[in-house]
Structure 1
Amino acid sequence: SDAGAEIVDVTIQNLEKNINQIGQTLTMYEVVRGLAEYLKASGSGVRFEDLIAQVTASGMGERLKQLMEGEAVSEDVYTHAITTIRPAIQQSYANVFSENNIQALLFPATLLQPNKISELGTSTIRGKKTSYLLASSHNVQPASIGGSPGLTVAAGLTGSGLPAAIGFDGPIGSDRDLLAIGMAYEKIRPIMPSPVLAV
Structure 2
Amino acid sequence: MADNYTVLEGRTIVLGITGSIAAYKAADITSRLTEKGARVYPVMTASACQIIQPLTLQTLARNPVAYDLWKEGQGWQPGHIDLADQADLLLVAPATANCIALFAHGLAPDLLSSIHLATPAPVMIAPAMNGKMLAHPATQANLALLRERGYHFIEPDSGMLACGYEGQGKLAAVDRIIETVEAFFASS
Question: TM class, shorter-chain normalised?
Answer: under 0.3
Larger radius of gyration: 1
Normalised to the residue count of structure 2, the TM-score between the two structures is 0.28
Larger % of helix: which? Answer: 1
